[in-house]
Structure formats: C-alpha cells, structure tokens
Structure 1
Amino acid sequence: MKNLPMDKWICYAVGFVFITTGTLKLIEQDFKLVFTDLGLPYPHTILFVVALVEIVCGALVVARLYLKHATAPLILIILAAIFLTKIPILTGNEGILQFLLHARLDIVVLILLILIFQHAPGKLLK
C-alpha cells in the first residue's frame, strides 16, 4: 500500500476541521448565541457567511484546488476567532494557561493554513 504524502494529510486534516465547524455553525443553535454575544453587527448573517466560507474553502483545501484563494479567508476567520474568543481569556482572570488550552487547535490550524498558503502551488502541494 502506498503512503499518502504529508501535504495531502495536512489538507485533509485542515479541511476536516473547517467543514465540520462550518456545518456545526449551520445546525447548532449554540453558535447563534456565541455570535450574538460577540457584539458583531448582524450576527446571524455573519454566522451564515462564515459557515458557508468554512465549508466551501474547507472542501477546496481537501480537494487541493485554488489553495491560495481557499486558505486566505480561512486564515482571516481563524485570526478573528483567536482575537474575538481567545484573547479575552488573557485579559480576564483565567490567565495564559487557559488561553493556551482554549486556543491550541486554532493555533495549530493557523500554522497549517500558513504552510499550505506558502507552499501552494509550489513544491509541497504539487
């Protein structure tokens, strides 16, 4: 059996995270409350757009199509998630360890997105 190259596994993992999260945003009512609590204008519309972008761009990453175009909005989404939902943990009473615990997946996915972006369509993702 032939081993899959590492770049394919990275794309599958990153795509899985965003397709799953985007889908959950559309079907779980809890996300509407989270977006409303963030104080963003038109939270339900933003939630729908973010979910749709996550699903579509996640699928493009899995398929390894238009990687620079697909990863750019995902990088912005993950940065917004870190700034809107994780950074407040640092400014609250919870401290850096709680921030690191809650932000660990976001940080790992951000690093993987940057790697995909930097290497698409170059050597890593041919």
Structure 2
Amino acid sequence: MACRPVVALIAVAILVGAMAVEAQISCSQVVSYLFPCLGYVQGIQPLTSSCCNGVRSLNAAARSREDRQTTCNCLMRTAAGVQGIQPGLISGIPGKCNVAVPYPINPSADCSRIN
C-alpha cells in the first residue's frame, strides 16, 4: 500500500510534463527560412521572392506563443552576430512581402512579451 502515493505522484508528474508546451520550431529552422533575406538586410541585394517565401513559411510554422518567442530570440541572437544588418530593413520585410506578422520586428523587441 505504501507504493500508491508514489505511483500517484509519478502519474501527476507525467501529466504536468505532458501539459507543458514547448516550441516546435528551432533556431536552425528559423535561420534556414530567413537565410535568403541576408543580402537584403545587409543592404547589398534587393528583396527577393525567396526571402518573402521564407518569411511566409516561417510565419506559418511559428504557430504557438512558444514558437514565436523562439523565433524572436533566435532573430535577436543571430542578428547580433552578423555584421552589416540594417534593422530598418528587417522590420520592413513583412510589409513588403505582404505577410501579417503578429508582433513588431525590431532589435529592441522584448521576446518574452510576444503572445
């Protein structure tokens, strides 16, 4: 009979773990979707359909709050490590590609506040 509380505790832990939501998108996927935009955000190439297609695909893939926060955090880290990126060009991509992104894209975004 002493095993019942332990079994119940394990069952509760499993249920709580199953309810936790994790991001389904990785930073490497984010970078892969947006790689065609690199020349544009550095100001050395025009905006391409490949870039817009990547933005559309990423927006569709980042469905949950966790996915959007992962995307935001990845963009912040990646952009900080690439020279020549022009924040004004980055923030304008969704509008130029006719993609409705549900949060602002800028270097000072607070990714924890994205819904």
- Largest Rg, 1 or 2: 2
The structure that is helix-richer by fraction is 1
**TM surpasses 0.5:** no
TM-score, reference length from structure 1: 0.28
